[in-house]
Amino acid sequence: MHRERKNWGDKLAYGLVKTARSLFDWVSGYKHIEKPPAPGMTIEELRKAGYLLSDRQWLEVSLYELLLLYFP
């Protein structure tokens, strides 16, 4: 859900946010998809494929976000 990018400021902001999100997802190991690659995959299979984060991985992501927040 995005609004139309009307001027260069909108385009710049969109590009910066998209780049930051992609970089964070790459660093944290998160893969965002709309639906699983194969129907009927178990949770463990999805985690091994990198489409779901374990509790430990979510904790690592949260700690990483806190570090970025307090130590930019």
41-60 residue pLDDT tens:
888 888 887 778 788 888 88
Within-domain flag for 21: yes
* 34 confidence band (pLDDT: 50, 70, 90): low
Within-domain flag for 60: yes
Q: Average model confidence (pLDDT) for the chain?
A: 82
Within-domain flag for 1: no
Range of the domain at 32: 8-70
For the entire predicted model, the pTM comes to 0.50
Q: Name the residue among 6, 24, 26 with its Cα closest to residue 16.
A: 24
Residue 1: its pLDDT value, please?
Answer: 60
Within-domain flag for 2: no
Looking at the 3D structure of the chain, how many domains does it have?
1
